[in-house]
Amino acid sequence: QPVTSIGASERVIKERSAEIIAGGSVFYNPVQEFNRDLSISVLNVFAKRFLKERAQSENVEFDDSTFVAGEKCENGLRILEALSATGLRSIRYAKEIAGVREIIANDLSKAAVASISENVRHNAVENLIVPSQSDAMTLMYLSTSNEKRFDVIDLDPYGCPNRFLDGALQSIANGGLLLVTATDMAVLAGNTPEACYAKYGCVPLRMKCCHEMALRILLHSIETHANRYGKYIEPLLSISADFYVRVFVRIHTGQAKCKYSMSKQSMIFQCTGCETFTLQPLGNVKVSTTDKGKSQTKFGIPTGPSVGTNCEHCGHKHHMGGPIWSNPIHDHGFVKELLQTIEERPLCELGTHRRLQGVLSVVQEELLDVPLYYVLDKLCCVLKLENVPVLKFRSALLHAGYRVSFSHASKNSIKTDAPTSVIWDILRCW
Ligand code: SAM
């Protein structure tokens, strides 16, 4: 990281297009460069989609050839970076995203906002960035009228983002993009279930697939917050990286669609002996046709395994956790476009270009209809087997006629639509 000291407590930090004077106690984390590179790439793809949709709905011509990064676009995105610290993220958004009208770089801390203002001047992006000192929640609650709403809201707090969700969901435009980071991984990974339930409304289980579980807990929490305001989420991309999770979700308005939310969440039953898990959706949806040819939708509560029943594989009792988001966590069409856009960019434009390509390539292969995953080492450990090579195990599943993929969240992960009995049978014969 190119860092130059310019005083006892000040340093100039260069990250891609931006130069930041970080002084005193203002927060700067170089490890988050991947997070910022990813967010910029996502927003460049999202901007085109969203602005095209908006132009079509208003019956005006759409021409993205006029979008230039660093230049104000009158019909472009209004972005709120609610917790901005040095303003680095906002400055990179201003300089590297095409199709931006305005970015509000907000922080509660006076020192942080002084730093944002200095950095905005230093990078000559006053045309796009408005520094703001306010409590993020108050700012969002004051921006719920149509003309004040944001097309994009970025929440990147310390720890849990939940107290900002109500405000964000009410101040985001229909179809807008919410970018949320959570760094309280110990809570999300099941170390303190009571804290996770209080914060995220979900009882986590201690599982090997805890990183994807963390993503699904966060998505569950955003969806349930959204439902209170007649809104629902559409996840475009959900990433577990380093010490945090980051989700990119579109927020749509639609009271009727909120009824489907129950069927997108599941409880999890995990065997206390062999750790086999089963998902139990909270609701099911049946669409049928009436005698008069009209389609009718019925919402029901399914039956399934329960805490009291014993595991069919080893006879132990189950632990029960959840609810978690059990619908797809990415939109593969979006990820494909994102990956193409990144591959077309010169390597030097994004510091974490290769890592982005690697992670997104795995994401593109992930089985979307298979929530969570097993970790092969753990399965081998249960059967007291020497470690089985992951590629050979994957081939065995493929030969048996099932689909299989990795998860970007763990390198030894097995996501498969094979029933767990097939997984155990293959391993027992190894
Ligand atoms: N997004 C920044 C980046 O990419 O470099 C990092 C943000 S840092 C993790 C969190 C920031 O949130 C701190 O600067 C802190 O002052 C600010 N903050 C904490 N509570 C806040 C609140 N209620 N409203 C606005 N800002 C707040």
| For residue 3, pLDDT beyond 70 | no
Q: Is residue 8 pLDDT above 70, yes or no?
A: no
Mean pLDDT of 45-69: 94
pLDDT at residue 398 tops 60: yes
Kindly report, residue by residue over 221-248, the tens digit of the pLDDT: 999 999 999 999 999 999 999 999 999 9
pLDDT of 220 > 80? The answer is yes
pLDDT value of position 5: 43
Mutate to test the pocket of ligand 1, among 37, 83, 133, 153 (most ligand atoms within 8 A of CB): 83
Give residue 6's pLDDT. Answer: 45
Q: For residues 99 and 83, what is the distance between their CA atoms, to the nearest angstrom?
A: 22
Q: What is the pLDDT of residue 362?
A: 98
In ligand 1, which atom is closest to the CA atom of 183?
A: 9
Residue located nearest, by CA, to atom 20 of ligand 1: 108
* ipTM confidence: 0.99
pLDDT higher than 70, residue 165: yes
User: Rounded to the nearest whole angstrom, what is the distance from the C-alpha of residue 46 to the centroid of ligand 1?
Assistant: 24
- Give the DSSP letter of residue 203: B
Choice from 86, 108, 116, 139 to test ligand 1 binding pocket (greatest atom count within 8 A of CB): 108
- The verdict on the CB of residue 135 being under 6 Å from ligand 1 is yes
- Whether the Cβ atoms of residue 131 and residue 190 lie closer than 8 Å to each other: no
pLDDT of residue 306: 66
pLDDT in tens, 276-294: 999 999 998 988 898 888 8
Q: How far is the CA of 369 from the centre of ligand 1 (A)?
A: 35
207 HSE (CA, 13 A, CB side)? 31
pLDDT at position 33 is 94
Listed range (128-142, 172-186, 279-293, 394-408) with the worst mean pLDDT = 279-293
Cα 389 → chain centroid? 30
Mean pLDDT of 148-159: 97
Grade residue 365 by pLDDT with cuts at 50, 70 and 90: very high
DSSP state at residue 68: -
Q: Look at residue 357 in the predicted model and tell me its pLDDT.
A: 97
Does any ligand 1 atom lie closer than 6 A to the CB of residue 159? Answer: no
pLDDT score for 11: 78
Nearest ligand 1 atom to alpha carbon 88 = 5
Nearest-CA residue for ligand 1 atom 27 is 108
Say how many Å lie between the CA of residue 213 and the centre of ligand 1.
25
pLDDT of 344 > 50? The answer is yes
Q: What's the CA-to-centroid distance between 84 and ligand 1, angstroms?
A: 5
The answer for 110, left when phi > 0, alpha when psi is -120 to 50, beta otherwise, is alpha
Distance 85 CA to ligand 1 centre (A): 5
The proportion of the chain whose per-residue pLDDT surpasses 70, expressed as a percent, equals: 96
Q: Give me ligand 1 centre to Cα 118, in Å.
A: 17
Give me the pLDDT at residue 302, please.
79
pLDDT band at 35 (very low <50, low <70, confident <90, very high): very high
The two three-digit tokens of residue 146, written as one number: 């149509």
| Pairing between β-strand 265-271 and β-strand 72-81 as defined by DSSP bridges | unpaired
pLDDT higher than 60, residue 426:
yes
Pocket of ligand 1 contains residue 114 by CB under 6 Å: no
State how far the Cα of 414 lies from the Cα of 374, in Å rounded to an integer: 5
Give the strand pairing for 172-182 and 277-281.
Answer: unpaired
